[in-house]
Amino acid sequence: MDIRPYDPEKDIRAVERIWYECGWVENEEQAAYVRDFLSAGSCIVGCLEGTPECQVHTVPGTIHHLEEPLSLCAVTAVTTSRIARKQGFARVMTARQLAAGAAAGAEVAALGMFDQGFYDQVGFGTGAYEHSIRFDPATLLVDVPFRVPSRLEKGDWEAVHGAMAARLKHHGAVVLEPPILMKGELGWHDNGFGLGYYEHGGLTHFFWADAKDEHGPYEISFMAYRSVDELLELLALIRSLGDQVSSFVMEEPAHLQLQTLLKQPFRNRRNTRRSEFENVHRSAAWWQVRLLDVPACVAKHRWPGEAFEFNLVLDDPAARFLSPDGWPGSGGEYVVRIADSSSAIPGSRTGLPTLNASINTFSRLFFGIASASEQLVAADFDAPPELIRPLNAAFCLPRMTTSWDF
């Protein structure tokens, strides 16, 4: 395969063509932001007859495991042209970018998937469900005062990125570091707008939405706040738009159950069924995650209960796509201790129970996405009953949500 680093001057037109063919951009205005987006992080291209026909882009960031930030390699763009499908480019190039991320110190990798199954081949496990709710803003049961907001436009991308980076964190919260990424994210919204609040010259809390027609729906793509009080002010602001706007669409914030703040949600769902402004609640896992550095990740897990140990035998499917003289993947044998100070040390110890797993399923366990009991149905997860019980208890974690679409 002809795979090399992306050259922005030489390759931009070919990459823009790939994005057009994938449907990621639809016009010249949107395509203009591709250069800015790819200027951050690392990008490689796969070529046929010297012309890029596939590109894989990653950026550094963080992802939270409970209150502990882990360094993240975020795979933010994998695109293949119409003539280069089924050539193996995307799979091999994604594995190479994971290796580069691991070499740079990333402990975890994550990505948004086009569908479930493909990225399993390089070690990713399906993430937690994200709740998308379409509701009438006038039915929000939020009775708190709100101030007159400031308008946000596409040119405010640095302030928007700063507010996202400084927002109130939660289990699974993602931050992508290069601010210029946000320039592209906002630029791709044809009818996007933002409303938010500034204090001491800095943007503290806001939402960014796409507006469709006079009465909506308005679809929120980014929201940031530093406290629950700021979240409630944003919800009160959304409620104030209910005089004109018939529906909003947003992912449920990590710090509340949105349904409990809606007036008669089931009645409104029935009454709006099949309408343009249907009230509906959908759940889906659109992202995937995997560990890159198992010892570093396990060391961040704090378990105040009774300590326990086990042998961990991991298979990493990405290894078959990696160079033999580089990062070998995360597979191998570890002696794992789960305690207030946890550890994973390469090797094995006689007499300990053994967990056999793929990096895919172990990553889901580590983040509390699926319990050990739930994963026993998977062919690549097996452990004796005496180990399943403590694993269930030690990795019973809060709902994981990224609150950053990438």
Q: What is the DSSP string of 18-38?
A: HHHHHTS--SHHHHTTHHHHH
Whether 297 and 207 map to the same domain: the answer is no
Average pLDDT of the residues in 261-266: 97
Q: Let me know if residue 118 belongs to a domain.
A: no
Q: Let me know if residue 177 belongs to a domain.
A: yes
Whether 302 and 163 map to the same domain: the answer is no
Average pLDDT of the residues in 295-307: 97
Burial class for 281, CB neighbours closer than 10 Å (0-12, 13-18, 19+) = middle
| Length of the chain in terms of residues written | 406
Average pLDDT of the residues in 326-338: 97
Whether 278 and 302 map to the same domain: the answer is no
Matching residue, tokens 């796409």: 210
State the average pLDDT for the chain. 97
- How do residues 162-201 score in pLDDT, each as one tens digit? 999 999 999 999 999 999 999 999 999 889 999 999 999 9
Strand partners, 208: 194, 222
- How do residues 31-52 score in pLDDT, each as one tens digit? 999 999 999 999 999 999 999 9
For residue 104, the model assigns a pLDDT of 97
Average pLDDT of the residues in 100-116: 97
Q: How many domains does the chain have?
A: 3
Name the pairing type of β-strands 248-251 and 218-224: parallel
Question: In the structure encoding, which two tokens stand for residue 279, read together?
Answer: 């009230």
Whether 244 and 170 map to the same domain: the answer is yes
Question: In the structure encoding, which two tokens stand for residue 329, read together?
Answer: 């993947």
Other beta carbons less than 10 A from residue 144's beta carbon: 10
Question: In the structure encoding, which two tokens stand for residue 50, read together?
Answer: 């010297």
**CATH number assigned to the domain comprising residue 367:** 3.30.1050.10
Q: Let me know if residue 403 belongs to a domain.
A: no
Long-range CB contact pairs, 210-215, < 8 A, 24+:
214/244, 215/244, 215/245, 215/246, 215/247, 215/277
If we measure between CA atoms, which residue out of 240, 334, 243 comes closest to residue 291?
A: 334
Are residues 110 and 289 in contact, defined by beta-carbon separation less than 8 angstroms? yes
Average pLDDT of the residues in 366-386: 96
Whether 270 and 159 map to the same domain: the answer is yes
The domain of 189 spans 131-282
Residue 1 pLDDT > 90: no
For residue 186, the model assigns a pLDDT of 95
Average pLDDT of the residues in 294-321: 98
- How do residues 47-106 score in pLDDT, each as one tens digit? 999 999 999 999 999 999 999 999 999 999 999 999 999 999 999 999 999 999 999 999
pTM here is: 0.95
Q: φ, ψ for residue 94 (rounded to 5)?
A: -65, -40
Residue 315 pLDDT > 90: yes
Whether 254 and 341 map to the same domain: the answer is no
Whether 261 and 135 map to the same domain: the answer is yes
Q: Let me know if residue 115 belongs to a domain.
A: no
**CA separation for the pair 91, 93 (Å, rounded):** 6
**CA separation for the pair 369, 293 (Å, rounded):** 18
Percent of the chain with pLDDT over 90: 98
C-alpha distances in angstroms, 137 versus 25, 189, 211? 30, 22, 14
- How do residues 192-228 score in pLDDT, each as one tens digit? 999 999 999 999 999 999 999 999 999 999 999 999 9
Whether 144 and 225 map to the same domain: the answer is yes
Other beta carbons less than 10 A from residue 5's beta carbon: 9
If we measure between CA atoms, which residue out of 369, 365, 400 comes closest to residue 382?
A: 365
Last residue of a domain, one of 237, 257, 282: 282
For residue 210, the model assigns a pLDDT of 96
